[in-house]
Chain A
């Protein structure tokens, strides 16, 4: 129970930060996606089930703060969490290269699935190549910086963290 509450608090904090400090486009007209990074972290360290649950929960909550239909973000984040969980078994998790690679692939998959669903719903507005490349690059660069912090935070908060493998 404690570990779930801890994780939920982390998701709530990430959403609060995402809708305030990290909502404004800062670098290259994009903002880092904290919920996506948390989802990828959950998938990468905990597997596809945990990744998908964090992605779905974070995505559905974040969707309430956006103008697009609720569920669009949840869909793309769940895909990212699942994919990073699948990829983790094929990589050495402590390697920075593995973190970069998984974040890159999961970010691309998340963004493309989000755009695809927007296209299906007829909500796709014109998008530039930079609009796809920059968010992926920013998330990929941030992953190796954020992942050790999250790992430490979850380990210190709960020694049997739900999100981390024993």
Chain B
């Protein structure tokens, strides 16, 4: 009886031991890139995501009809308001160019340059264990994507490419507490570092803020460009609350990107 029991438990015990060995090796040295795994699953994930999206779109279209009239009127009002703002901003832009020329600054045209080196990608999957920490996109080595490239969308910074397959890649999100981005509070130019708050909060925190900085709720936080990984001036989020510590201040940041509705992202290729 005891021999049978031992025999039955031999394989499970070996597998448990093997898992521990693999985990230790991966933790210490990192196992070879899971390019094959990511690439193998990406077409299946793509199919599932597309099918779900198709179904949701149909459902949305059916329900949307009822709200279309109100929505249309609201959009017309918004367009008029935005046209007015664009006209004003155009004036400011032209004034900016004039002043820069006057001061003999080179025009950077940073954002148009940024857009020129982006690769658009679809979100095809999420980390099933840590939903707020990683996602998967349908672009990989074949599209020129490499590890370390920043990932953004029109709302702000999403994260960076951590692992690359041939046709898929893993993106570590800024909500992850081991991702850090050099940041600046836009209104007062106070510098710090934005990192994930951790857990399933869906929030970030900004640390190393100067103790005397006048940081207020709803202040906008953008990337500072320090560190070189992320370009400067991309939105990270807004301040929710501030706490004073011994030598620095720490702010809780509400991310600019809505991670729950993320469907498409842009990968910034190197210059």
Tell me, in angstroms, the Cα distance from A76 to B230 when the chains sit together: 36
Interface string of B16-29 (1 = CB under 8 A from A): 10111111111100
Q: Are the CB atoms of B200 and A25 closer together than 8 Å?
A: yes
Most interface-central of B8, B41, B128 (chain A CB within 10 A): B128
Flag whether A21 is at the interface (Cβ < 8 A).
yes
Decide: A71 near B24, CB < 8 A? Known: A15-B41, A31-B128.
yes
Q: Are the CB atoms of A19 and B41 closer together than 8 Å?
A: yes
Flag whether A96 is at the interface (Cβ < 8 A).
no
Interface residues of B (CB under 8 A from A): 8-9, 11-12, 15-16, 18-27, 31, 34, 37-38, 41, 44-45, 48-49, 52, 124-131, 133-134, 136, 162, 170, 172, 176-177, 198-200, 260
Q: Are the CB atoms of B126 and A19 closer together than 8 Å?
A: yes
Chain B neighbourhood of A61, CB < 8 A: 37
Give the Cβ gap from A157 to chain B, nearest Cβ, in Å.
18
Decide: A65 near B128, CB < 8 A? Known: A20-B48, A59-B19.
yes
Q: Are the CB atoms of A69 and B11 closer together than 8 Å?
A: no
Chain A neighbourhood of B20, CB < 8 A: 71, 75, 117
Chain A neighbourhood of B34, CB < 8 A: 64, 70
Of the candidate stretches A99-107, A119-127, A142-150, A158-166, the one touching chain B is: A119-127
Chain B neighbourhood of A21, CB < 8 A: 48, 52
Q: Are the CB atoms of B16 and A52 closer together than 8 Å?
A: yes
Q: Are the CB atoms of A20 and B200 closer together than 8 Å?
A: no
Tell me, in angstroms, the Cα distance from A66 to B41 when the chains sit together: 14
Q: Are the CB atoms of B11 and A68 closer together than 8 Å?
A: no
| A-B contact sample (12 more), CB < 8 A, given A78-B19, A125-B198 | A20-B125, A47-B8, A48-B8, A49-B11, A49-B12, A59-B19, A65-B170, A68-B129, A71-B22, A71-B26, A74-B23, A78-B12
Q: Are the CB atoms of A67 and B134 closer together than 8 Å?
A: yes
Tell me, in angstroms, the Cα distance from A29 to B201 when the chains sit together: 10
Tell me, in angstroms, the Cα distance from A64 to B31 when the chains sit together: 10
In-complex Cβ contact of B127 among A13, A17, A51, A67 (8 A): A67
Decide: A66 near B21, CB < 8 A? Known: A49-B11, A79-B16.
no
Q: Are the CB atoms of B37 and A67 closer together than 8 Å?
A: no
Flag whether A53 is at the interface (Cβ < 8 A).
yes
Q: Are the CB atoms of A19 and B136 closer together than 8 Å?
A: yes
Flag whether A154 is at the interface (Cβ < 8 A).
no
Tell me, in angstroms, the Cα distance from A31 to B260 when the chains sit together: 14
Question: Restricting to A104-135, which residues have a CB under 8 Å from any CB of B?
Answer: 117, 121, 125-127, 131
Decide: A19 near B131, CB < 8 A? Known: A74-B22, A78-B12, A81-B12.
no
A contacts with B: majority SS: helix
Tell me, in angstroms, the Cα distance from A127 to B176 when the chains sit together: 15
Most interface-central of B24, B124, B126, B130 (chain A CB within 10 A): B126
Decide: A20 near B124, CB < 8 A? Known: A12-B44, A52-B15, A52-B16.
yes
Chain B neighbourhood of A12, CB < 8 A: 41, 44
Decide: A71 near B37, CB < 8 A? Known: A19-B136, A20-B49, A52-B16.
no
Decide: A67 near B130, CB < 8 A? Known: A21-B52, A25-B200.
yes
Chain A neighbourhood of B41, CB < 8 A: 12, 15-16, 19, 65
Instruction: Specify the chain B residue showing the minimal Cβ separation from A29.
Output: B200
Chain B neighbourhood of A81, CB < 8 A: 12
Tell me, in angstroms, the Cα distance from A72 to B16 when the chains sit together: 10
In-complex Cβ contact of A65 among B8, B31, B125 (8 A): B125
Give the Cβ gap from B48 to chain A, nearest Cβ, in Å.
4
Tell me, in angstroms, the Cα distance from A131 to B199 when the chains sit together: 10
Chain B neighbourhood of A117, CB < 8 A: 20, 23
Chain A neighbourhood of B125, CB < 8 A: 19-20, 23, 65
Most interface-central of B18, B25, B129, B199 (chain A CB within 10 A): B129
Question: Restricting to A25-83, which residues have a CB under 8 Å from any CB of B?
Answer: 25, 29, 31, 33, 47-49, 51-53, 55-56, 59-62, 64-75, 78-79, 81-82
